[in-house]
Amino acid sequence: MPEGHTIHRAALDHARALVGQRVTVSSPQGRFDCTALARKGGVLLEHVEAHGKHLFYVFERGLTVHVHLGLFGRFTVHADALPAPSSSTRMRLKGKAVAIDLVGPTACELVTPEKKAALLGRIGPDPLQQPKAPKAFLDHLAAQKTPIGAVLLDQSVISGVGNVYRAEVLHLLKLHPMTPASSLTRKTGTELWRLVAQLLQRGVTEKRIVTTQGTKIRARTEPVSREGAVHVYGRNACLTCGAPVERLVLNARTAYLCGVCQPLLG
């Protein structure tokens, strides 16, 4: 599943490509009812926003399209010749020089201001918008015995973290995923938030997840686990110490950890 950095990067790229232009919005697949956006000559795109893993395209008169990629959604940007859309293209945004196709999202819908507010109300603070740990996050940790590995994937508590960042952030802080959130000190909670913010921002810049220092990434097509971009996620051996990486299921997703670097304390 795309993590927060992918969504924020898409918001930046799509804004650069299309904001301020009259955009033709269509649904070649037909599963997105965009008739409210039909205008001769296109509808003005005013801005693109990312909140956690949610994207909002805000058009003239407040008309807003909400997109959540889910597990299988993806965008394709066409800057040159525009191919015919495939039968699975849910939405096509066509501007002056660039067109963007969306396939396979969990959500692609027009939302009212009330629906947008309700969606945002369910999403927790986003470290990419708020680099300093919010008090509500630290208070939540202090009050929860839930494993920290579960808390990190709870989008209502902290938004944008997925399975790769979860594994890597906990490894970098030497925390076992089963550590009760309430046992973390406020200092560790603050550091955890700061690290998530820093790594997500690096992901936005580099357009991929890299959590190691001094790593020369050779090819973007190589699986991350083979090239030393991560310490434990998807790996057999811990990049830090070489011990076998352990796996456990937490929130129905596999959590990766090194039992040597991240012992369960207490």
The interface region with Zn ion, picked from 29-37, 80-88, 147-155, 243-251 by CB under 5 A, is: 243-251
261 is a contact residue toward Zn ion (CB under 5 A): yes
Total residues contacting Zn ion by CB under 5 A comes to 7
Assess contact for 108 and 164: CB atoms under 8 A. no
Tokens of 264: 């369960």
How far the first Cα of the chain sits from its last, in Å, is: 33
Which candidate in 22, 174, 194, 253 is catalytic?
A: 253
258 is a contact residue toward Zn ion (CB under 5 A): yes
241 is a contact residue toward Zn ion (CB under 5 A): yes
In the complex, least distance from residue 232 CB atom to Zn ion, rounded to whole angstroms: 7
Helices (H), 28-151: 113-122, 135-143, 148-151
Which candidate in 9, 49, 53, 90 is catalytic?
A: 53
Which of 143/264 has CB closer to Zn ion? Answer: 264
53 is catalytic: yes
The interface region with Zn ion, picked from 3-11, 103-111, 175-183, 230-238 by CB under 5 A, is: 230-238
Helices (H), 61-185: 113-122, 135-143, 148-151, 163-172
Label residues 229-255 b or e (16+ Cβ within 10 Å = b): bbbbbbbeebbbeeeebbeeebbeeeb
Phi, psi of 126 (to 5 degrees): -110, 115
In the complex, least distance from residue 103 CB atom to Zn ion, rounded to whole angstroms: 38
257 is a contact residue toward Zn ion (CB under 5 A): no
Active site residues: 2-3, 53, 253
**Which residues of the chain form contacts with Zn ion (CB under 5 A)?**
238, 240-241, 243, 258, 260-261
